[in-house]
Structure 1
Amino acid sequence: MDNFLAEQPILLLFLLLAIGTLLGKISIRGVGLGPAGVLFAALAFSAIHPDWAVPEVVGNLGLALFAYTIGIVAGPSFFSGLRRGARPIGLVAVTLVALGALTYGIGRGLGFSSGTIAGLYAGSNTNTPGLAAAIIRLDGSPEPTVGYSLSYVGGVLVMLLTAAYVVRAGRAAPDPEAAANRPEVETRVIEITHDNVMDISELHRTPYGEVLFSRHRTPDGEMHMASGETVLRPGDLVHLVGSERALNHLTKQLGRVSAAVLTMERDEFDFRRIILSDKALFGKTIGELHLWDRFMARATRVRRGDQDFLATEHLIVQPGDRIRVTAPADQMGKVAKFLGDSEHAISDINPLGLATGMALGLLLGTVPFVVPGLGTLHLGAAAGPLLVGLVVGRRGRTGRLLWTLPHSGAETLTQLGLLLFLAYAGGRAGSQVVTAITSPLGVKLVLAGLVITAAHAAVLALGARQLALAAPRTAGILAGSQTQPAVLAYANESTGHDPRVTLGYALVYPVAMVVKIMACQILTMLP
């Protein structure tokens, strides 16, 4: 049996995925490991037999796939939120530098070698690329691996528990980001009672965001699509879509709320959700679809995953978006054909864009950066694909080359990459943990790692509170600063995949990765 599993790495991989997933479903007081169960299953297997480990190439593939798809999903929102995210980025960078100094002080106080200190820093901050950089710097010395393996498990557990605490505490507290969050999209029918001289093109922008005018009915009962030149008169009824505050603003300006339901009158004008599946339209904005010019139709909402977005002119559409369209009844079929409206078509994961983006990311990861006094630095299989994913995810397409992925496909690839990496990462440390934990050095490393990770978690949690960040974003920042996909997976699952988790993660992950790689190399050089 020992040799059988060692000689069947694919079988071993799927055994780990199955057992780890079952382990992750175990919940105690609402807290479970989630996908991190795969990591601990791999640790247990490799502790039983050191050859029961997933090949390194599988782990690298998983890490690169995970990082790239995270970038693709977060890219459109990452750059728009970068200015507001400068303070969290600074918090993470300063914290990680300070942790390097703390690790050095603890390590020297306990008599650790430079290689062991570098491994302790990499393990307590769960950063495999940092470990690799330290090993290369020390010409293959095993010292960093020992420090890493003894502190890695504690690094995962402490940050998982911190994320769980932050999320649970956040549920019972007011959301400090409520005013800054993207507001929920609502609909309302208004009866015009005030004299008005402005047309709809002048009314749709409010101090609280845009409002879309769908259709309106005149006092004589005629129904019309609302165009930009339409001037609303007393007695008209108009159907609006926007945020609550924006709708309240227009209601006060134009008249009063009406109980009429214009959407029930579907003889002349109809509405439906249409799946965007035509590849030629992926990455375009709502305005670039020219629905009004082509069909006298108007998009009012876009459903992406479990979220609704207001269909403003500048909103970039993605594969699989469900676009809520209002159009003349005889044009609705033409609109559906134009947008695609095919479930089958959106199952395509865009292999050309995926492969090209992954290749560019991996190439970037191999580019050497020479740092005076430190030698050569590489971004590696995580930071390289992540940075490329963020950039191309923001662009959407380059000429005829499409970068975006269907939302469901991107989430599937992200989860697959995460599980592959966790199955590999656990298999690298199990036997070393068992060997080292029985020695005095092992106990010191475990305790030192717990102190460093606890300091990391405490500083970030307190800093996030000072910055008035909501619990989901804080959990994402914790996961990103720890460069730990297992914490990200838990945070996503426990918050119902709140988008702020992924945005927080992607915001700080690149700088965290670079700082850790550099810090590990510096620690190997210090006396």
Structure 2
Amino acid sequence: MDEATKSRRTVLKHAGLGPFLPLLFAAGPAAAQGDAGSGGGGVIGQVFDTIKPVTEAGFNGFFQLLDNQPIVFILLALALGTLIGKVSVMTISLGSTAGTLLVGVLLSMVAEAAYGITYSIPGILSSFMLLLFMYALGLKVGPQFFSGLRKGGLAFVVIGLIVWSLNWVIAYFGAMLAGLAPGYATGLISGSYTITAILGVGQGALASGAYVPPDGMTVEEVGANMAAAYAISYVLSSVGIILLIRYLPRIFGYDAVADAKLAEAEFSGGATHPVPGAPAALTMGFSPFVLRAFSVTHKSFIGRTVSQLADDYPQAPILRVVRDGEIVDLTSDPAVQKDDIVTVRADVHDLILKDGELIGPESDDPLARNIPMQVADVHVSVRKMCGKSLADLGRVMPGGVTVQALFRAGNELPLGPESDVQFGDVLRLTGPDAALLETAKRLGGHVSLPTMTSEVMYLAIAMLVGYLVGIVTVTISGIPFAFGTSAGVIMAGVGVSYWRSRNPHFGGPVHEGARSFLQDFGLNAFVAVLSANVGPKVISALGGDTILWLALIGLAAALIPPLVAFWIGVKVFGLNSIISDGATTGARNSTPGLNAIIEESRSSVAAVPYPVSYALTTVLALIGGYFSMILS
């Protein structure tokens, strides 16, 4: 046995795999050693070559593995961060996003400080994950977004102005009063606002000569000051703002869950059903219409055809006839015979309880009762159906189909027998599969049924359009103005969701489970990558009392403006606490903060005002960052 094989056996024994050694080495030395020309190939050799540095070098090897395999770093930060985020102390918890950020920063700081390993994960990965989050969030809040603009647009703008102006004043004048060197103020604004692009604006002012460093300082030193201030304030404000936004309603005595329900009712206009395309839109909820099966014994039913009985009892249509253990084909309009089992669907209180007297004793025959029921949204696109009342429509729909909700231009309308149907309306129907398909054909629309799949093509096209809109930049006096890719993509999601509320077939199926996964995983993966890259910058900034000033000023600039803006939102403008919180976190440009209040309130309604204040303050923050550099 050669030395390499002995070494492998020793490591495997220490790893607790001793009992499996005969199996692993059963193929002999060739399998264990692999092909010499391939550098120790073979499955066992390849696995060992990956594990060996870790087992031999201990923690150094572990952190080196995280550097060599960034995916391992991301997954580890996600797993540990989510676990830590669930820990609650006095009803307060970090949540998965802040937990992932903390774990990632600690891992990268230890790697840098103890072993000189600097993590650097390509930013394209974090950017793409963030865009997935923004699009998924836009899909959920789209129908409520424009309602939110109408209800509180001015308040959202004022909240944005308050947060931006207070942040700039605290960061800039705080750095001035503390006597910090040039560059620190711009870095504090960028980090406390968690907008990395402000660093780019500041660097642009340096590169263009719009700002000239004082004697004794170089452009590189000013840039390093910006990066250090950014790193310190970014980490502290990222965690701080997540916790603050999460608990702002509780701090001021509001119940986040209860207020979220009130906000949902307010922004839905009193509607009781989710709009087409929204989460839970196609969930079978409570219905007074139920299925019952009866054995035919009464003479009034025997010998009459299904169509004749439908005319006599339109409120209780026959959906199935079972005869001698076989399902009878209803397309031939068969006559009902004695001892047949018929399945009807009607209001349990008004009709079915009496049907036993009309038809015969109730039956528990599983073949008669096992009729799959579905919920479907159908877009009305046949002109001859326009103007008909729901009562008239019920006479032309196949048996067993009932109208659960009626939507026009994305708004739910009250239901009544005389409610009319117009071209472009969306009807939410319940009934057997075959009957729903036939109803959709008569209405001229497609059936949107619950699905376990999601359409990738529409997702890619919508995100592409939003991204391209976001990167369009207009430069005025050396300051670049852009909508921003995050804002562009969330608005793409809003647009798709908005049009789906008017035509549920638009945008393809979007399964809520898939949408929710994109939202949660996208944001946390973004934070994991970001934490790996920020950690080393924190280490470089540690020294003297400067770090204390950076921490104090950064936290003050990050947390005081949202507190003031939230209070003004609820007290001056009378906003719901969750809506004010959503506008505040948008004004702070804190996507993780938005996710925190969504988790806390168990609702996504906080995202309704988010894009309004987000888009405004993104532009203002870039302008303010540029002038903070010039005025230094």
Shorter-chain TM range is 0.7 to 0.9
**Shift, 1:24, TM fit:** 0.9
**Shift, 1:399, TM fit:** 13
Task: Please state whether the residue corresponding to 1:449 is helix, strand or coil.
Answer: helix
Q: What are the superposed Cα offsets for residues 146-205 of structure 1, whole Å, 9 maximum, x if unpaired?
A: 11111123323332333343343312998586983544739xxxxxxxxxxxxxxxxxxx
- Between the aligned partners of 1:341 and 1:471, the Cα distance in structure 2 is 35
1:143/1:263 CA distance change after superposition, 3 Å: farther
1:135/1:378 CA distance change after superposition, 3 Å: farther
Matched with 1:10 is 71
Say whether residues 1:386 and 2:490 are aligned partners. yes
- Between the aligned partners of 2:226 and 2:425, the Cα distance in structure 1 is 46
Say whether residues 1:274 and 2:374 are aligned partners. yes
1:399/1:263 CA distance change after superposition, 3 Å: closer
- Between the aligned partners of 2:382 and 2:354, the Cα distance in structure 1 is 25
**Shift, 1:470, TM fit:** 2.2
Q: What are the superposed Cα offsets for residues 245-269 of structure 1, whole Å, 9 maximum, x if unpaired?
A: xxxxxxxxxxxxxx9834856979x
Say whether residues 1:412 and 2:479 are aligned partners. no
1:79/1:179 CA distance change after superposition, 3 Å: closer
**Shift, 1:120, TM fit:** 0.6
- Between the aligned partners of 2:624 and 2:349, the Cα distance in structure 1 is 62
**Shift, 1:72, TM fit:** 2.7
Matched with 2:43 is none
User: What is the letter of the counterpart of residue 95 of structure 2?
Assistant: G
**Shift, 1:330, TM fit:** 8.8
User: What is the letter of the counterpart of residue 274 of structure 1?
Assistant: Q
Alignment of 1:55-134 (within 5 A): 55-95=122-162, 96-134=164-202
Say whether residues 1:38 and 2:100 are aligned partners. yes
**Shift, 1:21, TM fit:** 0.9
1:261 to 332, 349, 361: 349
1:295 to 383, 387, 397: 397
Matched with 1:422 is 527
Matched with 1:47 is 109
Q: What are the superposed Cα offsets for residues 412-441 of structure 1, whole Å, 9 maximum, x if unpaired?
A: 211121012111221222222233233321
Alignment of 1:351-500 (within 5 A): 351-371=456-476, 373-396=477-500, 402=507, 405-466=510-571, 467-496=573-602, 498-500=603-605
Asked if the contact 2:131–2:522 (Cα under 8 Å) also holds between the matched residues in 1, the reply is yes
| Paired-residue identity, % | 21
**Shift, 1:386, TM fit:** 2.4
- Between the aligned partners of 1:404 and 1:336, the Cα distance in structure 2 is 17
1:316/1:441 CA distance change after superposition, 3 Å: farther
Asked if the contact 2:246–2:593 (Cα under 8 Å) also holds between the matched residues in 1, the reply is no
**Shift, 1:18, TM fit:** 0.9
**Shift, 1:116, TM fit:** 1.9
1:262/1:437 CA distance change after superposition, 3 Å: farther
User: What is the letter of the counterpart of residue 490 of structure 1?
Assistant: A
Asked if the contact 1:214–1:225 (Cα under 8 Å) also holds between the matched residues in 2, the reply is no
User: What is the letter of the counterpart of residue 48 of structure 1?
Assistant: V
Task: Please state whether the residue corresponding to 1:185 is helix, strand or coil.
Answer: coil
Matched with 1:201 is none
Asked if the contact 2:132–2:518 (Cα under 8 Å) also holds between the matched residues in 1, the reply is yes
**Shift, 1:389, TM fit:** 2.9
1:174/1:41 CA distance change after superposition, 3 Å: closer
- Between the aligned partners of 2:631 and 2:537, the Cα distance in structure 1 is 25
Query: RCO greater where, 1 or 2, for CA within 8 Å and sep 6 or more?
Result: 1
1:360/1:298 CA distance change after superposition, 3 Å: same
User: What is the letter of the counterpart of residue 184 of structure 2?
Assistant: T
**Shift, 1:356, TM fit:** 1.0
The range that moved more, 383-392 or 120-129, is: 383-392
**Shift, 1:34, TM fit:** 1.2
1:58/1:25 CA distance change after superposition, 3 Å: same
Say whether residues 1:508 and 2:592 are aligned partners. no
**Shift, 1:78, TM fit:** 0.7
Task: Please state whether the residue corresponding to 1:84 is helix, strand or coil.
Answer: helix
Asked if the contact 1:125–1:482 (Cα under 8 Å) also holds between the matched residues in 2, the reply is yes
Asked if the contact 2:263–2:605 (Cα under 8 Å) also holds between the matched residues in 1, the reply is no
- Between the aligned partners of 2:381 and 2:229, the Cα distance in structure 1 is 53
The range that moved more, 98-107 or 58-67, is: 98-107
Matched with 1:180 is 266
Asked if the contact 1:214–1:300 (Cα under 8 Å) also holds between the matched residues in 2, the reply is no
1:381/1:333 CA distance change after superposition, 3 Å: closer
Asked if the contact 1:93–1:515 (Cα under 8 Å) also holds between the matched residues in 2, the reply is no
Structure 1 unaligned blocks of 5 or more = 187-212, 216-221, 227-258
Matched with 2:85 is 24
User: What is the letter of the counterpart of residue 272 of structure 2?
Assistant: V
**Shift, 1:14, TM fit:** 0.9
Q: What are the superposed Cα offsets for residues 125-158 of structure 1, whole Å, 9 maximum, x if unpaired?
A: 2223333443444448233221111112332333
Asked if the contact 1:133–1:521 (Cα under 8 Å) also holds between the matched residues in 2, the reply is yes
Asked if the contact 2:249–2:256 (Cα under 8 Å) also holds between the matched residues in 1, the reply is no
Q: What are the superposed Cα offsets for residues 297-326 of structure 1, whole Å, 9 maximum, x if unpaired?
A: 4432499xxxx97787799999xxx95526
**Shift, 1:508, TM fit:** 2.4
- Between the aligned partners of 2:159 and 2:423, the Cα distance in structure 1 is 31
Residues matched between the structures, number: 446
User: What is the letter of the counterpart of residue 487 of structure 1?
Assistant: G
2:231 to 146, 149, 154: 149
- Between the aligned partners of 2:104 and 2:424, the Cα distance in structure 1 is 41
Say whether residues 1:170 and 2:254 are aligned partners. yes
- Between the aligned partners of 1:128 and 1:87, the Cα distance in structure 2 is 27
Asked if the contact 1:167–1:494 (Cα under 8 Å) also holds between the matched residues in 2, the reply is no
**Shift, 1:339, TM fit:** 6.2
**Shift, 1:28, TM fit:** 1.1
User: What is the letter of the counterpart of residue 21 of structure 1?
Assistant: T
User: What is the letter of the counterpart of residue 417 of structure 1?
Assistant: G
Asked if the contact 1:437–1:443 (Cα under 8 Å) also holds between the matched residues in 2, the reply is no
Q: What are the superposed Cα offsets for residues 33-90 of structure 1, whole Å, 9 maximum, x if unpaired?
A: 1122111111111111243343211111112222222223222221122122213322
Asked if the contact 1:476–1:503 (Cα under 8 Å) also holds between the matched residues in 2, the reply is yes
User: What is the letter of the counterpart of residue 403 of structure 2?
Assistant: A
Asked if the contact 1:185–1:310 (Cα under 8 Å) also holds between the matched residues in 2, the reply is no
Q: What are the superposed Cα offsets for residues 332-375 of structure 1, whole Å, 9 maximum, x if unpaired?
A: 574599865765xx23321111111111222223222112x343
